[in-house]
Structure 1
């Protein structure tokens, strides 16, 4: 615990750290900041009689910058919990800072399974999804449809490599084959050469192990190249609601995806989405933004329960409390810090099926938590007892 008071400096401070100007700005960005504000408002704006404050910053997808902001927030500004942090390389850097300073870290935007695997931390919780859950849902379903050979267009970073590796594990376990890969830098721009190489492989599926603007560019360029008119299928392994909205249904229709949250799935998710939309010019929340609210509310409840804001004390309490809200029912935080819950396999609707500007998905399967996430028995997290 930092400081003399249970709630340090007589205020609890939340830092929302994410991409606010780059490839992941739409799926997280200011929408995540607004989700955090909504959670604080719903919690009552204070904890144990002390006010709750929110800071936010743009890490620009740079690990060094993200770690620097996190350290300054904690050591100078007294931030008690950092939330969101898309971009796995940045999240891994920030996780080292939060572990060293006993600060809670609520991960929503980043995906690599390493965050709760070999690099797991007693002060971190990985909330919305990870690379295993994304690959397990979509790839397994595509294999069942007969897409047995794969070529990957992959972001050349911790996230892309982890996502491709998880997909290859599922493919190998089910008798499929990987015919090749083409890696690209973050915010790569033109992916024509990568997609043409994928077409030349004649693989059944072109798996996109990227996200945000990179995934949007890849899907759009593949459509322009006429991939959808041939025998191959484009299979995004991480696609967000805002990506589909940007692409439009004429281009995105029929794309398979796996998601942790869809705003129009239940009465509770619709109610949250409407409140979020009122603050965001009608935009419905992505799974990252919904996860920010859910994880932060769970954190605040745990902090109030223990009367403490030291990272490990609150995270330990989060692990003892079930998760039951509009984001996840029957969820739980495992010893490795992974919040396991149902995932949903979806299909992007055709234009004629959509009844509104954000009516974009058809949920085709609910994936139980025990199938959606890697079994704890297979974890390489040092916090997990043998």
Structure 2
């Protein structure tokens, strides 16, 4: 297992507090409240999560005040390398040996679903921000799992539904839990919207050559090629599609899980016109801009929706710990669900019985180069998607917690 770079191994978010007599000395002796940020620190998803999510978590702790219930708060980071076994080993060690109370972020749905089971078994909270499978709050839901930023159903309800009739559709899909869930949910949205799916192909995670997949898509007569993948995979696929002249031939491209950092990597000339669904965009309003500029000062890139969601989820958790007067997982989860989410990320957000945090999403379009007014000015808002429209209805996910709730 690779070591996390030393600068990320332990990021202490317990701020420097003058050592005064009495109570302050006692406070210094308190066991830290530890939050583990688990993600891809150096691979294909490092830009959308990675060190940026650790910075976002640090900012949340600092903005909260650095301690809670007399305990300093620490952020530690782990690199799961997009491997479920590596992620599970890190989380088990964190909980059993390092006293970690909460696991946050967690891109790569196969890792996320493995961590969900550890959280369930060990009664530890899992705050998912960048892992996206809607199964997390569906058949795999747990009383210890909360899904914050988006999920594959919501992406489908946005991009898939809006482009349903622009096909026929063909999917180029990453062959793991996230990709297959995104293809499944989007295909349902397309068919519900009157569109047609003519085929799909799976590619391994971390693929570098998409030529055969693109040729296969063209051979089906599809008029829209949808990329059900993410990170560097999606960046490479869209770049290669343009190199092969696919958009110029009249075939549309749909990046189902694009991030602001992906558009930055692709460039406006190539990405212009793409439609995407986001749980957050840095340039939406004064609140989002103010926080994002603070983030940019540290990270030198504007935040992705997952990084902003990591901040929001951790801040809401810490507020709940303070309000509940305890770090007991069930008490804190109850407090989180009873308290509306109200910050720059979401106003009036709510956490349902299945662990889904419901909030508005945004359908956006990538600007043409001539429309850009300043750095990172990449997107324009098409419409706000209300949370109840964006996320799967509570009774359709198959979450056992909902069945139990209904039976009471």
Fold agreement, TM-score > 0.5: yes
Task: Establish whether residue 242 from structure 1 lines up as the match of residue 242 from structure 2.
Answer: no
Task: Establish whether residue 114 from structure 1 lines up as the match of residue 138 from structure 2.
Answer: no
Task: Establish whether residue 99 from structure 1 lines up as the match of residue 120 from structure 2.
Answer: yes
Q: Is the 8 A contact 1:9 1:78 kept in 2?
A: no
Distance (Å, rounded) in 2 between the aligned partners of 1:246 and 1:176: 31
Give the superposed CA RMSD.
1.1
Give 1:5's aligned residue: none
Give 2:332's aligned residue: 314
Task: Establish whether residue 129 from structure 1 lines up as the match of residue 150 from structure 2.
Answer: yes
Task: Establish whether residue 188 from structure 1 lines up as the match of residue 228 from structure 2.
Answer: no
Pick from 343, 347, 361: which aligns with 2:379?
361
Give 1:139's aligned residue: 160
The alpha-carbon distance between structure 1 residues 199 and 225, as it changes in their structure 2 partners (threshold 3 A), is same
- Find the structure with the greater CA-based Rg: 2
Residue by residue over 1:184-239, the C-alpha shift from the partner in whole angstroms, topping out at 9 and shown as x without a partner, is 01001101100111111121211110000000011000000111112210001100
Q: Is the 8 A contact 1:104 1:310 kept in 2?
A: no
Q: Is the 8 A contact 1:112 1:158 kept in 2?
A: yes
SS at match of 1:23: coil
SS at match of 2:381: strand
| Greater mean alpha carbon deviation, residues 165-174 or residues 295-304 | 165-174
Give 1:328's aligned residue: 346
Give 2:294's aligned residue: 275
Distance (Å, rounded) in 2 between the aligned partners of 1:301 and 1:40: 10
Q: Is the 8 A contact 1:17 1:58 kept in 2?
A: yes
How far 1:317 moved relative to its partner? 1.2
Structure-to-structure mapping, 1:14-53, within 5 angstroms: 14-53=35-74
Residue by residue over 1:142-186, the C-alpha shift from the partner in whole angstroms, topping out at 9 and shown as x without a partner, is 12xx41411000000000000000011112222222111110010
How far 1:10 moved relative to its partner? 2.6
Q: Is the 8 A contact 1:202 1:232 kept in 2?
A: no
Considering Cα pairs closer than 8 Å and 6+ residues apart, tell me whether 1 or 2 has the greater RCO. Answer: 1
Give 1:212's aligned residue: 231
5+ residue gaps, structure 2:
1-28
How far 1:119 moved relative to its partner? 0.6
Q: Is the 8 A contact 2:30 2:72 kept in 1?
A: no
Q: Is the 8 A contact 1:154 1:209 kept in 2?
A: yes
Distance (Å, rounded) in 2 between the aligned partners of 1:376 and 1:27: 28
Pick from 87, 90, 107: which aligns with 2:108?
87
SS at match of 1:57: strand
Q: Is the 8 A contact 2:152 2:185 kept in 1?
A: yes
Distance (Å, rounded) in 2 between the aligned partners of 1:357 and 1:148: 33
Task: Establish whether residue 302 from structure 1 lines up as the match of residue 320 from structure 2.
Answer: yes
Task: Establish whether residue 58 from structure 1 lines up as the match of residue 58 from structure 2.
Answer: no
Pick from 310, 314, 317: which aligns with 1:292?
310
Pick from 156, 160, 167: which aligns with 2:179?
160
SS at match of 1:264: coil
Q: Is the 8 A contact 2:30 2:70 kept in 1?
A: no
Residue by residue over 1:51-81, the C-alpha shift from the partner in whole angstroms, topping out at 9 and shown as x without a partner, is 0011101000000010110010001000001
Distance (Å, rounded) in 2 between the aligned partners of 1:149 and 1:310: 51
Count of aligned pairs: 376
Q: Is the 8 A contact 1:262 1:286 kept in 2?
A: yes
Give 1:151's aligned residue: 170
Distance (Å, rounded) in 1 between the aligned partners of 2:79 and 2:105: 11
TM-score w.r.t. length of structure 1 = 0.96
Q: Is the 8 A contact 1:148 1:176 kept in 2?
A: yes
Distance (Å, rounded) in 1 between the aligned partners of 2:352 and 2:192: 25
Residue by residue over 1:119-146, the C-alpha shift from the partner in whole angstroms, topping out at 9 and shown as x without a partner, is 1010111000000000110011112xx4
Residue by residue over 1:63-115, the C-alpha shift from the partner in whole angstroms, topping out at 9 and shown as x without a partner, is 00101100100010000011000000000111111111111110001000010
SS at match of 1:331: strand
How far 1:9 moved relative to its partner? 6.5
